[in-house]
Amino acid sequence: MSNGKHPSGAPWRNFYGRFKGKTLRDSQKEYLDQDLAALSPGPVGWEENPDRTPIDLSALFGERDVWLEIGFGGGEHMVHQAAQNPDVGIIGCEPFINGVAMLLGKIRDAGTDNVAVHPGDVRDMFDVLPDASIARAFLLYPDPWPKKRHHRRRFVTPEYLAPLHRVLKPGAIFRVATDIPDYVRQTLEQVPRHGFDWLAERPDDWRQPWGDWISTRYEQKALREGRVPHYLTFRRR
């Protein structure tokens, strides 16, 4: 369209990942039907929130700090962090519906009640998060987009990093895990340019996982295939 807008009023945003994979099991369909709506962080999408009214995080989590996981995959890390940090609220964003269904099953099993789930693009969540409202963010094994012409699709680009900086509190921690050397390069080039300090002081600071880390299925696949994980920690200026 000539005005660059979707009929709903949303800006046209290219999305290059997958929305759906293998056929969902009946139990996963049940999770989506019965649990997803109750775990909504509020009106995030353009159709239900065309004015982009900020969501009320205090209504969602009370006075707790709020963390954000960007692309939670199968949900292992998000549920682990929620269980280990009951005094924190965690919002997870993931457009891949199979991953959302997997997360919902893990939430049922763990009984965690301090989570919210947005089954969509994190950019829509950025639109409705208040300024300086997020105390920690995670980007764990994001889509690598290995071809050079696709590097602009990566998360570590201005389209994502500028709004991430806006919604993070000053001093908030941003963790990035990846097994792709060129993704490490681009992360270390781009993230500091957008208002973050890299906190590494010695090689072990990026070679060793964080003390509260749980290895995800994506990391296990990387290790089996001989790729080396990197754990990068940044602080929002």
DSSP 71: S
What gap in Å lies between CA 237 and CA 228, rounded to an integer?
29
Both tokens of 147, joined, read 């071809």
Q: Read off φ and ψ for residue 172, nearest 5 degrees.
A: -65, 150
CB atoms within 10 A of CB 54: 14
Both tokens of 225, joined, read 């295939």
Is 35 tagged catalytic?
Answer: no
From 109, 127, 131, 143, active-site residue: 143
What gap in Å lies between CA 49 and CA 86, rounded to an integer?
29
Backbone conformation region of residue 228, classed left if phi is above 0, alpha if psi is from -120 to 50, else beta: beta
- Helix runs in 87-224, H state only: 97-110, 122-128, 158-167, 181-193, 204-207, 217-224
State how far the alpha carbon of 143 is from the alpha carbons of 57, 65, 89, 178, 227, in Å. 28, 27, 25, 9, 15
Active-site residue set: 143
